[in-house]
Structure 1
Amino acid sequence: MTSIEHLNGRSELFSMAPTDASAQSLPVLVQGASGQSIHDLDASIRDGLAQVLATVGGVLFRGFTVATPIDFKRFAASFGAPLASYEFGSTPRSKVFAGVYSSTEYPAHQFIPLHNEQAYTRPWPSRIWFHCIKASETGGETPIADSRLIYQRMPADIRELFASRELLYVRNYSGALDLPWEKVFNTQDRAQVKRYCQDNDIEWEWKADGDLRTRQRCAAVQQHPETGEWVWFNQAHLFHVSAIEPSVRASLLAAVGEENLPRHVYFGDGSPIADDMLDTVREVYRETAISFPWQPGDILMLDNRLVAHGRNPFTGDRKVIVAMA
């Protein structure tokens, strides 16, 4: 018999009724019975998942049999929305097969700050699934945080400034420093790049060296369409040059200048964002983060607007794959 419980940041389990999801902390744990396939999820639990996602924001499925990555894909696709391709991505991923990708392929020693998936652009996934095939020896957790709580805890002056002025994300695509445009747009056809940018209100220009630069203005906060709650929804703290280690930052600026940084962010009018302001933003993320160890077979399902995610450094082999819708 499948059970629903609450998994808090210390990995302790508490009894929970599905109707009381809004009073619980992130994430809700759905525990499978021994040998139970992920495809045999109880109908009553499946029917309640939409409410849980809209209130808590995240569900961890644990103890189920997920035989292959195809089973993971089938499970993610079973919620009705078509699985998305990784268009206009900002980090390196490998395609497992259509609709399923590796998690971000940054070196194991690096921490990936919490963020809402593709919040640096306008078309972004509303849901995201992570499936742990192999847990790392140490570390490697996928920390998560409630975007409503981040919004609420953000100092009022920063919150109001970001909300009113919005953000301008600037990207320079180059295989030498970051992702080349061919990989980001999944094409070698400049006409397709032009069409994508036109369709998504992205400014673009081809530079003299043949590389591409884009600019896109986006909101920094969002109102959830189902609950009306405000959420902190941007990647300013990742895109800003202050996210780079100081010595590397100095070398990069000396080499290419601010205008050619692989990625950077400004207020919507193009004015700079102070480093210390983004340090405060990062501290709010740190204070609200929740981590739990992965177990092989786990599937974590998130409402991308309500929950941010990241990755802790790790040792040993780690394999986590991702689907988005």
Structure 2
Amino acid sequence: MEMKKKRLDSDVPAPLLVAPTHANPDLSAVLAEHAVEIKDELLEHGALLFRGFAVDSVEKFSAVADQVGNARLNYTYRSTPRTSLGAGVFTATEFPQTQEIPLHCENAYQRDWPMLVAFCCLQPASVGGATPIASMRSATQAIGGAVMDEFEQRRVKYVRHYRPYVDLPWETVFQTSDKHEVARFCDNAGIEHEWLDEETLRTGQICQGVATHPVTGEKLFFNQAHLFHVSSLGADTAQSMIDMFGADRLPRQSFFGDGAELAADVLQAVRQGLNQQAYDVAWEQGDVLLLDNMQFAHGRRTFSGPRKIAVTLSNPYSSHLPG
């Protein structure tokens, strides 16, 4: 079956819009037929939006994801609340509707991440709820060489404190209620971990600030320092968090890898560089969006009314392992 392809918006190069040429097509079958072509176009454009294929169930989306990705990640060492829909399919981050999710690359706060993120709109919000995306090639250029060099050389350290009823519980993050399993996971992942008391766990991990795309060879900004840093909550909320927990025991905080504080102007350069490149993908029911996770960041706008976006994370890549 042939497909129609064009820019979703004439002013932006991606996502490339892919639509069917006849009614009631089976997108998983189309992708199976054009697998090599689609993977080449995803690498070229970084973002593909399939519209008009009526992918209206988790089962159909799972079948679609099978055609474009492999080795789905099970989302251990979590940073956001999600609900499993089965077979490696999850809901998109379940933060409150009034809270915007800043642009980020999935799992960039880890040493391992998915190269492919696939979204499916099972139900669009009645108002708002778009998914902004941003080219990391353009954002990297906008962030600038000086900031990039600093992140590349010094890397990023993420420090988290897990307590009852604050942020995500450690049982959810590590997908276990066994403290020995947490220790095993942390040791294998190079995560410092310490129980400050019976209920309070502190972790710290140093990860990349910049990463090289394994296929294109491009050096890209790739971390979540701007999300984990308390300043991402806004000045008033950040100060309230510091007053409540102390600057050294915040639920989440980011530093340079050497432990030095991240300066406000550095974080502002990162946020501004990302936001300048943002393009909102307004969802229609049945849409499927594929993102090369190193070429494109994504986020979420505020919304009202029910909204259900399913997600798969595939094609795992390790920055610290060969191949």
**Short-chain TM bin:** over 0.9
**From 125, 128, 136, the counterpart of 2:117:** 128
**From 255, 268, 277, the counterpart of 1:266:** 255
2:180 partner SS: helix
Matched, 1:207 2:193: no
Displacement, 1:42? 5.8
Q: Give the whole-Å Cα distance in 2 for the aligned partners of 1:296 and 1:175.
A: 37
**From 288, 291, 309, the counterpart of 1:299:** 288
User: What does 1:226-237 correspond to in 2, within 5 Å?
Assistant: 226-237=215-226
TM-score (norm. length: structure 2): 0.92
Matched, 1:31 2:28: no
CA contact (8 A) 1:233 1:305 kept: yes
**Residue in 2 that maps onto 1:115:** 104
Identical counterparts, % of pairs: 39
Deviation digits for residues 122-171 of structure 1 (CA, Å, limit 9, x no counterpart): 12111111000111122111111111111122122111111111110111
Q: Give the whole-Å Cα distance in 2 for the aligned partners of 1:35 and 1:70.
A: 16
Matched, 1:65 2:54: yes
Q: Give the whole-Å Cα distance in 1 for the aligned partners of 2:73 and 2:253.
A: 25
Corresponding letter in the other structure for 1:47:
V
Q: Give the whole-Å Cα distance in 2 for the aligned partners of 1:144 and 1:157.
A: 24
Q: Give the whole-Å Cα distance in 2 for the aligned partners of 1:190 and 1:151.
A: 39
TM-score (norm. length: structure 1): 0.92
Q: Which runs of 4+ in 1 moved over 4 A?
A: none
User: What does 1:20-99 correspond to in 2, within 5 Å?
Assistant: 25-32=13-20, 33-41=22-30, 45-79=34-68, 81-99=70-88
CA contact (8 A) 2:69 2:116 kept: no
**Residue in 2 that maps onto 1:20:** none
Displacement, 1:236? 0.8
Q: Give the whole-Å Cα distance in 2 for the aligned partners of 1:301 and 1:70.
A: 17
**Residue in 1 that maps onto 2:7:** 7
**Residue in 2 that maps onto 1:289:** 278
Q: Give the whole-Å Cα distance in 1 for the aligned partners of 2:293 and 2:270.
A: 19
2:131 partner SS: coil
Corresponding letter in the other structure for 2:170:
W
Displacement, 1:182? 0.3
Q: Give the whole-Å Cα distance in 1 for the aligned partners of 2:164 and 2:189.
A: 23
Q: Give the whole-Å Cα distance in 2 for the aligned partners of 1:222 and 1:79.
A: 23
CA contact (8 A) 2:159 2:203 kept: yes
Displacement, 1:62? 0.9
Corresponding letter in the other structure for 2:306:
D
1:149 partner SS: helix
Q: Relative to structure 1, is the Cα distance of residues 164 and 36 closer, same or farther in structure 2, using a 3 angstrom cutoff? A: same
**Residue in 2 that maps onto 1:141:** 130
Displacement, 1:259? 1.6
Unpaired runs of at least 5, structure 2: 315-323
**Residue in 2 that maps onto 1:21:** none
Corresponding letter in the other structure for 1:288:
Q
- Please report the RMSD computed on the Cα atoms of aligned residues, expressed in angstroms: 1.6
Displacement, 1:44? 5.8
Displacement, 1:34? 1.6
